[in-house]
Amino acid sequence: MISKPKPPVVFGLLVLLVESCGEKLVRMTISPQKTTASEIWAELLASLKVDGQDITVVVDTGTPYTFFVERQWYERTHAGGCAKLKFKCYDCNPSSCHEGPTETREFLDGTQVTVFQHSGTVDFGTANADGIDFGLVVGCNRRPFAALGLSPPCAKPKPYVPLIGELILGGEDKSKYTGALRYVKVVNKEEQSIMVTDLGIGDASKNRIKGSQAGYLDTGSSVIGISDKLETPVLQLLRTTGKKPVSITKAAGFYGLACGDIENLPSIIFFMEEDSVLPEKVPLEIQPASYVIAESESSCILAIDFAETWLLGLPTLIGNYYLYDWDKSRIGVAKFTPREKRKLEPVYRIDRLQLEDPLRIDSILDADGITANR
């Protein structure tokens, strides 16, 4: 989820694996899930223990902030609510937990989260990390949530915005991808943005739309964001350039179609500026089953939001391998290597993420053929 620009006051920065974990491989299961029965979109979730307490978090490359819901605050107005909350709550020990100055973070979708700073021990399943700074939520203008922020911090934060996989901290698995990595240039280090140069629909040699706008790879977003200036031509190409013509209609703010038509839709290809002396365009192909969400057995909707910001959200992970090399301001992209008798999982990795201290975080999410609507 992409946060709005704020003054340089930082709460809940992810600072881990500095001494206690080192280069040890830490594996965590990751699964896109709906956080309530009424939700349409899935979010990329992981489970961990914080000071011995079970917590569920959104795995979010669009923010550097890590925060959990504070139990006393939430249950003052929702008695017993923590047991029903997908993210659970952090029970702050009164002897060590003192609410200090608070900071309100606003995201581009209008969500506002108010937190105060705390620290504790995080158990990732195969390793512990002590002295982790995080925020505790004591205010939210929607149903509260928890987040594991994986984006590097900057002095002035600005927008940078069921599959079963695993998050690996502290290592790399080169067998997960095919061929050489193509590196996408991070064009703005503060915003951690890339440049989307073109958008292809189906046969990109015939159906290619110029973009030339900043975009953001953001696992905290459940959808793909495409410039609203391209809404009409993109929808026309989605309707007409697949295996068969498809009826796509707008209702209640969403674009819907029959689920049986998923196989008739074309793929979507993002072209991004390469990090090279002689830069070319790096393609990233998204299959139809990845950008369509099922509302029911017969009714589906596009996981596409036409707005001002280009967002390569959760649907773009499926079948692809990402290497976030913040230290060199680049993001590696490759196709995932499928394994026999295994579902298609997305692959996601962060490498050489620099925070307050020298730190290495490698994060891999690998998956194989599960669609985002399952």
The answer to whether 159 touches 216, Cβ cutoff 8 Å, is yes
Least Cα distance to 321 among 216, 179, 209 occurs for: 179
- Max CA separation in the chain (angstroms): 66
3 compared with 101, residue with greater pLDDT = 101
pLDDT in tens, 79-89: 999 999 999 99
Least Cα distance to 120 among 112, 128, 108, 130 occurs for: 130
Burial of 115 (0-12, 13-18, 19+ CB in 10 A): buried
pLDDT in tens, 310-343: 999 888 887 787 777 777 888 888 887 765 433 4
pLDDT in tens, 237-249: 999 999 999 999 9
Query: Structural domains in the chain?
Result: 26-169 (2.40.70.10), 174-351 (2.40.70.10)
Alpha helix (H) residue ranges in the chain: 71-77, 231-240
β-strand pairing of 330-336 with 177-185: antiparallel
Q: For residue 6, what pLDDT band results from cuts at 50, 70 and 90?
A: very low
> C-alpha distances in angstroms, 171 versus 148, 252, 348, 363?
18, 44, 12, 7
Tokens 């600005």 -> residue: 158
The residue type found at 207 is: N
366 compared with 278, residue with greater pLDDT = 278
pLDDT above 90 as % of the chain: 39
User: Exposure string (b/e) for 133-171, b if CB count within 10 Å is 16 or more?
Assistant: bbbbbbebeeebbbbbbbbbbbeebbbbbebbbbbbbbb
